[in-house]
Amino acid sequence: MTLMVDDLDRIEHLSTLIAEWSASFLKQVDQQSVAATNHPRPLDEPLAADGLGAEETFAEFKKHLAPGLSGSVGPRYLGFVTGGVTPAAMLGDWLTAAIDQNVMVAGDSISTAVELQVIEWLRSLFELDAAYEGVLTSGATTSNLLGMLTARQFAGEIQDIDIASEGIGKAEIEIFSACPHASIRKVIGFSGMGRNAITEVPCLPGSEEMDVAALEQLLTHSQAPGKIVIASAGTVTGTDFDDLTQTTLLCKAHNAWLHVDAAFGLFSRLVPKYKSLTNGINGADSITCDGHKWLNVPYDCGIFLTKHPTLLQRTCSVSAPYLAVSDELPSLMDRGIENSRRFRALPIWMSLKAYGRQGYRDLVSRNCEQASLLADWISKSSSYELLTPCKLNVVVFRPSESKSDVQQKLTEINQTGLVYLTPGNWFGTPCIRAAFSNWRTEKADVDIVCSVL
What's the min distance (Å) between Cβ of 85 and ligand PLP? 15
SS3 string, 364-425, reads HHHHHHHHHHHHHHHHHCCCEEECCCCCCCEEEEEECCCCCCHHHHHHHHHHCCCCECEEEE
Q: Which strands, in side-by-side order, build the sheet including 173-177? A: 133-137, 302-306, 286-290, 256-261, 226-232, 173-177, 198-200
What's the min distance (Å) between Cβ of 77 and ligand PLP? 14
Instruction: For ligand PLP, give the closer residue by CB, 164 or 179.
Output: 179
Please tell me the chain's helix, strand, coil percentages from 3-state DSSP, rounded to the nearest 5. 45, 15, 40
Instruction: For ligand PLP, give the closer residue by CB, 84 or 302.
Output: 302
Single-letter amino acid, residue 226? G
What's the min distance (Å) between Cβ of 263 and ligand PLP? 3
Contact by Cβ (8 Å): 99, 364? no
Contacts with 53 (C-beta within 8 Å, 6 or more apart), sequence order: 3, 6, 7
What's the min distance (Å) between Cβ of 162 and ligand PLP? 28
Residue 62 backbone phi and psi in degrees, to 5: -60, -40
What's the min distance (Å) between Cβ of 208 and ligand PLP? 11
Contact by Cβ (8 Å): 388, 374? no
What's the min distance (Å) between Cβ of 267 and ligand PLP? 12
Instruction: For ligand PLP, give the closer residue by CB, 75 or 291.
Output: 291
End-to-end CA distance of the chain: 54
Widest CA span in the chain = 70
Contact by Cβ (8 Å): 29, 23? no
What's the min distance (Å) between Cβ of 299 and ligand PLP? 8
- Say if residue 50 is exposed, middle or buried (CB neighbours under 10 Å; 0-12, 13-18, 19+): exposed
Enter the DSSP assignment of 29.
G
Single-letter amino acid, residue 284? A
Instruction: For ligand PLP, give the closer residue by CB, 84 or 399.
Output: 84
3-state SS class at 134:
strand
Instruction: For ligand PLP, give the closer residue by CB, 79 or 156.
Output: 79
What's the min distance (Å) between Cβ of 50 and ligand PLP? 38
Contact by Cβ (8 Å): 240, 207? yes
From the list 186, 157, 145, the residue with the least C-alpha distance to 338 is 145
Instruction: For ligand PLP, give the closer residue by CB, 139 or 298.
Output: 139
Instruction: For ligand PLP, give the closer residue by CB, 292 or 314.
Output: 292
User: CA gyration radius for the chain?
Assistant: 23
Q: 160 preceded by cis ω (within 30°)?
A: no
- Where does 161-240 show beta strands of DSSP type E? 173-177, 198-200, 226-232
Contact by Cβ (8 Å): 125, 270? yes
What's the min distance (Å) between Cβ of 36 and ligand PLP? 20
From the list 179, 161, 290, the residue with the least C-alpha distance to 226 is 161
CA dist list (Å): 334 to 40, 150, 324, 362: 40, 12, 12, 35
What's the min distance (Å) between Cβ of 136 and ligand PLP? 12
What's the min distance (Å) between Cβ of 186 and ligand PLP? 9
Instruction: For ligand PLP, give the closer residue by CB, 140 or 178.
Output: 140
Question: Which stretches of the chain bind ligand PLP, using CB under 6 A?
Answer: 80-81, 139-141, 181, 183, 234, 236, 261, 263-264, 290, 302
